């Protein structure tokens, strides 16, 4: 397939691109920093610095992973707008280009996040669950609405409601590892908030699965079928690293450090990948201990 990818240098994209190349696909990476992307992918992909330089005629698929990292800074009003704009603008433009194409891509796979549902406490969350009206829901709802505009008889749209992607090269796990390796890790807040995790290999395989299943469209929870509470995640990570679990991080300290963005750590979703499982996708990692041991061995 001839595929256009945005956000290719991010955590998910950096794993997805090599796998797509291995499978023989032809890739074009849309990026504002061509030199950075070239340092990752060399001459194995084509590069484009602006959408205005492209037409989507001839592309079989578009994978949209672009977006400002959501936990990088405190959520000032300016930062919230930046988080929205970095997702909404590129998604809206891609949808418009797909609609305007004479021969549009057959599939548009666009990122979203499990934060779509807001804080769900201990409730089980599926793709049909009712969301809470919080900032993360408002961000993801509009993001998905803009992507769904591309849906037609010629183009199907798949939305990736992504959980915590486990990898040692970036994301939440990479930030946690230094403290846990020093024996200074611990649960966050009361530790009862659910953490919907997914191994990066299952994330990548899930995207490729959606790419190749022409009957699938709509929203998919990209999470392992076994979400765990934060206190259990912390305990298992400490055990895998053979380190003690000593220092819980109080909720007030997280709020002091992160402001409103502390919701990302102090709340959670007990999310299940119902639609992926019912469609026949097989997860490689459903046990958190196995996933962490594979990553950290």
Q: What is the pLDDT of residue 162?
A: 98
- Domain assignment of residue 236, yes or no: no
Whether 239 is covered by a domain: the verdict is no
**Distance spanning both ends of the chain, measured CA to CA:** 34
Residue 178 belongs to some domain of the structure: no
pLDDT value, residue 17: 98
What is the pLDDT averaged over residues 148-167? 97
Per-residue pLDDT averaged across 26-42, rounded? 95
Distances in Å between the alpha carbon of 123 and those of 115, 159, 226? 14, 22, 14
In-domain check, residue 188: no
Cα 39 versus chain centre, distance: 23
Identify whether 252 is part of a domain. Answer: no
Confidence of residue 25 (pLDDT cuts 50, 70, 90): very high
Query: Among 234, 227, 213, 230, which Cα is nearest to 281's?
Result: 213
Residue range(s) defining the domain that contains residue 51: 2-163+198-223+273-281
Nearest Cα residue to 23 out of 207, 180, 178, 163: 207
Residue-wise pLDDT tens digits, 252-278? 888 988 898 888 889 999 999 999 999
In a domain, 250, yes or no: no
Cβ-in-10-Å burial (0-12, 13-18, 19+) of 210 comes to: buried
Number of domains in the chain: 1
Q: Write the CATH number for 52.
A: 3.40.50.720
Question: 68-77: per-residue pLDDT in tens?
Answer: 999 888 999 9
Evaluate whether 1 touches 25 at the Cβ level (below 8 Å): yes
Residue 174 pLDDT level (bands cut at 50, 70, 90):
very high
Do 217 and 275 contact (CB within 8 A), yes or no?
Answer: no
Residue 248 placed within a domain? no
Q: Hey, what are 38's tokens?
A: 């070239």
Query: pLDDT tens digits, residue range 191-232?
Result: 999 999 999 999 999 999 999 999 999 999 999 999 999 999
pLDDT confidence bin for 59, thresholds 50/70/90: very high
């Amino acid at each position: 397939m001839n595929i256009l990818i945005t956000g290719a240098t991010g955590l998910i994209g950096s794993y997805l691109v090599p796998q797509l190349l291995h499978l023989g696909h032809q890739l074009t990476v849309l990026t504002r920093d061509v030199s950075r992307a070239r340092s990752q992918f060399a001459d194995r992909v084509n590069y484009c610095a602006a959408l205005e330089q492209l037409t989507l005629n001839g592309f079989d698929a578009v994978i949209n992973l672009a977006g400002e990292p959501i936990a990088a800074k405190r959520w000032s009003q300016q930062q919230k707008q930046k988080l929205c704009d970095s997702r909404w603008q590129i998604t809206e433009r891609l949808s418009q280009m797909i609609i305007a194409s004479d021969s549009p891509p057959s599939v548009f796979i666009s990122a979203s996040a499990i934060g779509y549902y807001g804080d769900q406490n201990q409730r089980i969350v599926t793709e049909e669950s009712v969301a809470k009206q919080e900032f993360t829901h408002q961000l993801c709802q509009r993001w998905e609405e803009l992507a769904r505009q591309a849906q037609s008889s010629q183009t199907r749209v798949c939305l990736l409601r992504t959980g915590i992607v486990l990898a040692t090269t970036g994301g939440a796990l990479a930030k946690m590892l230094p403290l846990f390796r020093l024996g200074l890790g611990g649960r966050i807040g009361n530790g009862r908030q659910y953490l919907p995790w997914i191994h990066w290999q299952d994330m990548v395989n899930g995207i490729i699965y959606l790419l190749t299943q022409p009957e699938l469209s709509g929203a998919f929870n990209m999470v392992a079928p076994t979400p765990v509470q934060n206190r259990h995640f912390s305990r298992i990570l400490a055990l895998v690293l053979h380190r003690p679990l000593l220092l819980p991080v109080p909720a007030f300290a997280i709020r002091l450090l992160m402001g409103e963005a502390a919701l990302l750590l102090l709340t959670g979703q007990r999310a299940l990948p119902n639609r992926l499982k019912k469609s026949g996708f097989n997860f490689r990692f459903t046990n958190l201990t196995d996933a962490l041991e594979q990553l950290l061995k």
